[in-house]
Structure 1
Amino acid sequence: MSRTSSSAAENQVLAVIGSGRARSRREISAILNLSASTVSQHVQSLLAQGLISEGEVRGSTGGRRARELQLAGETDQLGVIDLGGGHARLAVLPRGGELGDSSEISVDLRDGAEAVLERCIAEIRSLASGQTLAGIGVALPGPVDPTTHGVVSPSRMPGWAGRDIAALIESLTGVPAVVENDANAMALGEHFARTPHANASVTVKAGTAVGSGIVIDGSVYRGAGGVAGDITHTRVAAAHQYPCSCGNFGCLETVASGAALVRLLQNEGVEVTTTQEVLTLVRDGHPRATALARSAGHHLGEVLCAVVNFFNPSAIYLGGSLSSLEPFVSALRSEIYEGSHPLMTRDLTIAPAALGADASLVGVSRQINEHLAQLTRG
């Protein structure tokens, strides 16, 4: 094995340890599909370089009890932020560790990137209680360019376009930062929330807006332009008369999102202003709200049929506030099973998101962990 290939493999080992995906040689072997002897060689090299350390002995499921592998300097803390249209969800967790308690604050994305991020970072520092921050991860509610680290064509984020958000965070905090689309972060969190992990999964976020993320073999699939999975602006026949924020007519989001349900109910004279109020109406059995929620599920299911038939995922995970509504989910599932080829749905899992509102935080924490591991490696 050449030194170049050896270094690349060591980077992969460092990344899976840093992200928390693996804590033992056996787990590294399973995730990276490497032989036990090869993993041992790379682990010993990383130990010798002082990049990782062995912690306390872990509980055993048979055989010799393994010592837990961890990054050197894992006592540092990470800050993670999930930005929404009117709120931000935040948490602090140990580097390489599990997400603990999270908190939520009100924000207005129209205030601009600096003002919003400064407020979030102040809250993160408060949660850290004086502990050292090693890095910051942020999930953003819009398409993110992985090269420029900025939001692409943000429809509800005036003043954010063209900004290197990672560089801005680094200038405000003095620590490394990563930025990710919130649906991709959610998809990554949900993908690893279950054991065994699906080979390929699609996670759908159906709330005030609609989005989705794709994970293949443990990595976010981004596509040629970095925006794979953005089903928001897929054309559906039922929406042909409705204008979308993207400038077109007939986009999925105009009939299958919380914002769409608010608008449609208002057009019928129902006094409602937020997605949360729509949820309450549906749970209270409001006939028109229930019918529209069911229709929204059918429309989203119609688009997901094309995804299932083309991509053949092993799992679809449903998150976002609308996924808590039985009429919405039932209609979505029915549309997928009726409209997809039986070979595509034979082994398909359709399940609710397991991490709830913290999914994007968990996903972006993995990414900042892996980013820091790569920086440590150099």
Structure 2
Amino acid sequence: MTAPDEQPGSAAHVLELVANGSATSRADLVRELGLAASTVSARVQELVEAGLLAESGEGASRGGRRPRLLRVAEQGAVALAADLGSHHIRTGAVGLTGDAFDIDDHAVDLTAGPEPALDTLAERLGTLAERQRAAGRTVRGIGVGFPGPVDADGARIIAPSRMPGWHLFPLRDRLAARLGLPVLLDNDANMMALGEHRAAHPTPRHLVVVKAGRGIGSGVISDGRLHRGARGSAGDISHVRVDEAAELPCSCGNIGCLETVASGAAIAAALREKGIAVDSATDILRLVENGEPHATTLVRQAGRDIGAVLAVVVNFFNPEAVILGGALSGAQPLVAAVRGMLYERCLPMATSDLTINAAGCGPDAGLLGAGQAVLRRHTMTDAPPAPAAARS
């Protein structure tokens, strides 16, 4: 996920500083980056020639000539983004200023296998690409967050739970071949972590972002960058064994995994066993908001179980923030229980300045992360690179 153009002082870094308002002129960039004025000017000129930045107007003088103001080009590049859930696809476009727009949700069942989902995904993204081009925007690529493990190369799905037929499916290359655009594929929790970090929590350099929805996952930001680990599985907390799960069998083939008791799917199943009609995380939230005792108890216990696992992560990794996202993060009993377990089980040194909050980007976090990852990788080419399938 980390590309050379994401390095500090790169053209992509310059673009990000202008897009987020940290710098409005070349002089600002020199101060922010600590680089020579000639180096900064070369980066800016590269972005201007690519149509990504524009210079117009004059800012306030600080003793010399008035600086020309920099801004992101209004009709600049966009990335298409897709956040996949087990039963839905959320798509949208993401601009250089970090905003998501033209967002759409569509029902799809990933458990029915990869081919029908690929058809739907290609159709939705193809239509979205046509709309962006009609508006005069350049589509640089596609970012996809998938609710399951993705290999280290970001090409294939690896043994996703409860999704027969997806193992080793080359989603990146198949989608790139269908749409003629480069595709960046990663786990959905990783994409959410990128989105939350860059859009809502840009200051912390070390944070853990948890996605608690139908399943459970987390993404890790280390020193300001997504950490994927040696094989791409960093942050997978769903199959950590917890006491509450006892001997419950998990879809991974093990027993006692966190997912078997703390995921939205597990909570929904437990409620149905009690005769309570529930299918989705939205149904669970509605029950909790209405004070349904069984739902509230199960959600609170899920928060304790998630918190118990995260306590090990916090003690080991020592992040500045733990951010709780996904549909279940809207349940206050879950957030409170996670926070309580972290303060109870973590070292005081690890929690003295620790921020523990619900996510700030809502359902758009995954789209924002996927889109921004693509833009940082592909914005420095006038024409989009050839699809991955064509390069192999």
Report TM bin, short chain: 0.7 to 0.9
Cα offset for 1:218? 2.6
Amino acid in the other structure paired with 1:361: L
Match for residue 326 of structure 2 among 294, 315, 320: 320
Report whether the alignment pairs 1:216 with 2:222: yes
Deviations 1:195-230 (A, max 9, x none): 652010110011111100011233110111111001
SS, match of residue 186 in structure 2: strand
List aligned pairs for 1:237-248, cutoff 5 A: 237-248=243-254
1:373 aligned partner: 379
Indicate the percent of aligned positions where both proteins have the same amino acid: 38
Report whether the alignment pairs 1:16 with 2:9: no
Cα offset for 1:166? 1.5
Cα offset for 1:193? 1.9
Amino acid in the other structure paired with 1:55: A
Deviations 1:151-210 (A, max 9, x none): 111123322221222111111001111111100000001011236520101100111111
SS, match of residue 304 in structure 1: helix
Aligned residues: 369
Q: Do the aligned residues in 2 keep the contact of 1:14 with 1:373 (CA within 8 Å)?
A: no
Cα distance between partner residues in 1 of 2:246 and 2:227: 30
1:166 aligned partner: 172
Match for residue 189 of structure 1 among 195, 201, 222: 195
- Stretch of structure 1 that moved more, 102-111 or 365-374: 365-374
Amino acid in the other structure paired with 2:54: G
Report whether the alignment pairs 1:120 with 2:126: no
Report whether the alignment pairs 1:274 with 2:271: no
Cα distance between partner residues in 2 of 1:27 and 1:228: 36
Deviations 1:70-118 (A, max 9, x none): 58x9645422111101111011244665212411001111343332132
Question: Using a 3 Å threshold, how does the CA distance of structure 1 residues 95 and 160 change in structure 2: closer, same or farther?
Answer: farther
Cα distance between partner residues in 2 of 1:58 and 1:219: 34
Match for residue 341 of structure 1 among 326, 331, 347: 347
SS, match of residue 99 in structure 2: coil
Report whether the alignment pairs 1:199 with 2:186: no
Q: TM-score, normalised by structure 1?
A: 0.87
Question: Using a 3 Å threshold, how does the CA distance of structure 1 residues 41 and 301 change in structure 2: closer, same or farther?
Answer: same
Match for residue 162 of structure 2 among 156, 168, 172: 156
Question: Using a 3 Å threshold, how does the CA distance of structure 1 residues 40 and 101 change in structure 2: closer, same or farther?
Answer: same
Cα distance between partner residues in 1 of 2:5 and 2:192: 27
Question: Using a 3 Å threshold, how does the CA distance of structure 1 residues 185 and 29 change in structure 2: closer, same or farther?
Answer: farther
Amino acid in the other structure paired with 1:277: D
Cα offset for 1:295? 0.7
Deviations 1:29-58 (A, max 9, x none): 687x5435375154156369x446541448
Deviations 1:335-372 (A, max 9, x none): 10111111111111111111100000000001111221
Cα distance between partner residues in 1 of 2:58 and 2:269: 54
Cα distance between partner residues in 2 of 1:47 and 1:374: 7
Report whether the alignment pairs 1:302 with 2:308: yes
1:4 aligned partner: none
Q: Do the aligned residues in 2 keep the contact of 1:74 with 1:94 (CA within 8 Å)?
A: no
Q: Do the aligned residues in 2 keep the contact of 1:199 with 1:216 (CA within 8 Å)?
A: yes
Q: TM-score, normalised by structure 2?
A: 0.84
- Stretch of structure 1 that moved more, 334-343 or 119-128: 119-128
Cα distance between partner residues in 2 of 1:12 and 1:337: 38
2:93 aligned partner: 92
Question: Using a 3 Å threshold, how does the CA distance of structure 1 residues 100 and 59 change in structure 2: closer, same or farther?
Answer: farther
- Stretch of structure 1 that moved more, 196-205 or 355-364: 196-205
Q: Do the aligned residues in 2 keep the contact of 1:76 with 1:131 (CA within 8 Å)?
A: no
List aligned pairs for 1:52-63, cutoff 5 A: 54-57=53-56, 63=62
2:136 aligned partner: none
Mind listing any 5+ residue stretches in structure 2 that lack a counterpart? Answer: 134-138, 386-392
Cα distance between partner residues in 1 of 2:340 and 2:314: 13
Cα distance between partner residues in 2 of 1:358 and 1:145: 24
Amino acid in the other structure paired with 2:223: D
Mind listing any 5+ residue stretches in structure 1 that lack a counterpart? Answer: 1-6
Cα distance between partner residues in 2 of 1:38 and 1:295: 58
